[in-house]
């Protein structure tokens, strides 16, 4: 079995029977590293603050996209649907369609479904919607799992109407200059669960898919130190691999990005 086959099986298990959202490193049903800018991390961190950090990442993306009442939104990699449920209630877009590769995640998310808020099984590379269907398309902490970023950006462009807004928010390598370096440090890259896509690669794919006004904002300073503080709270020792997210960021091998564009 090659790395990709292994990785596909590992991802299916972690979001299927293993239910990653139930691990203490995440909380509140979310599965992201969080945006900690407004959360004090000089002392201990509480579970409530960990949940707030993950909600804050959703808020950041929804604000950047300017989601409003008139918008029809597709979220690619919607997980257990808690971010979608929050945004739908808080911002009140006309429609919010979550899509996730994992049937188990869609089943979990369906607990939040209401009129206008729906969840669908599907791949980022084969979105189950017609052309020009949405005003807004985005993905939060899912693109690191995607083997085919070109397919993802093409599909996002296809389902967006002309002038539609797009964002992808997750961790990427700042450059393609250090292939294999993240796999040497971080288990999820070594197994292929995460892919070391670089920012220039993502920007090139967005451009090729027809996106314009591409904006790349690095937000790692508000992600990695907070995540590391939470790992300390959980008692993860210095030598264990998850503590190397922060050092990998400080060594310039990885950053967390909010990349937005217009179709």
Nearer to ligand SAM, 119 or 211 (CB): 119
Query: Taking Cα atoms as reference points, which of 94, 186, 100, 199 lies closest to residue 142?
Result: 100
Least distance from ligand SAM to the Cβ atom of residue 21, Å: 7
Cα 201 from Cα 147, distance rounded (Å): 13
Cα 56 from Cα 38, distance rounded (Å): 9
Nearer to ligand SAM, 32 or 153 (CB): 32
* Sheet strand arrangement including 72-76: 117-121, 95-100, 72-76, 134-140, 160-172, 255-262, 212-218
Shortest-Cβ-distance residue relative to ligand SAM: 79
DSSP labels, 228-253: HHHHHHTT--TTSGGGHHHHHHHTTS
Structure tokens at 199: 């920012």
Nearer to ligand SAM, 4 or 175 (CB): 4
Query: Taking Cα atoms as reference points, which of 75, 85, 74, 67 lies closest to residue 29?
Result: 85
Nearer to ligand SAM, 31 or 202 (CB): 31
DSSP labels, 68-115: -TT-EEEEES-TTSHHHHHHHHHH--SEEEEEES-HHHHHHHGGG-BT
Nearer to ligand SAM, 55 or 261 (CB): 55
Least distance from ligand SAM to the Cβ atom of residue 43, Å: 25
Residues in contact with ligand SAM by CB under 6 A are: 15, 30-32, 76-79, 83, 99-102, 105, 123-124, 140-142, 145-146
Least distance from ligand SAM to the Cβ atom of residue 145, Å: 4
Cα 124 from Cα 18, distance rounded (Å): 22
Least distance from ligand SAM to the Cβ atom of residue 14, Å: 8
Least distance from ligand SAM to the Cβ atom of residue 117, Å: 15
Least distance from ligand SAM to the Cβ atom of residue 241, Å: 17
Nearer to ligand SAM, 47 or 212 (CB): 47
């Amino acid at each position: 079995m090659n790395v990709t086959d292994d990785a596909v099986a590992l991802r299916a298990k972690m979001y299927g029977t293993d239910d990653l959202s139930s691990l203490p490193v995440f909380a509140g049903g979310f599965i992201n590293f969080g945006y900690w800018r407004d959360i004090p991390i000089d002392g201990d961190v509480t579970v409530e603050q960990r949940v707030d950090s993950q909600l804050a990442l959703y808020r950041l993306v929804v604000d950047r996209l300017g989601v409003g009442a008139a918008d029809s939104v597709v979220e690619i990699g919607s997980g257990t649907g808690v971010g979608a449920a929050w945004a739908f209630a808080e911002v009140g877009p006309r429609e919010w369609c979550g899509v996730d590769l994992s049937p188990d995640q869609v089943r979990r998310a369906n607990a939040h479904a209401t009129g206008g808020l729906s969840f669908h099984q599907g791949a980022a590379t084969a979105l189950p919607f017609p052309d020009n269907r949405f005003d807004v398309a985005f993905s939060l902490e899912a693109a690191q799992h995607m083997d085919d970023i070109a397919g993802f950006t093409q599909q996002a462009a296809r389902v967006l109407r002309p002038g539609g807004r797009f964002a992808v928010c997750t961790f990427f390598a700042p450059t393609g200059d250090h292939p294999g370096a993240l796999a040497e440090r971080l288990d999820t890259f070594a197994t292929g669960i995460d892919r070391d896509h670089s920012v220039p690669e993502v920007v090139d794919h967005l451009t090729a898919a027809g996106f314009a006004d591409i904006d790349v904002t690095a937000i790692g300073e508000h992600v990695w130190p907070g995540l590391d503080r939470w790992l300390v709270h959980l008692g993860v020792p210095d030598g264990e691999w998850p503590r190397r997210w922060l050092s990998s960021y400080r060594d310039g091998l990885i950053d967390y990005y909010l990349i937005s564009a217009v179709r």
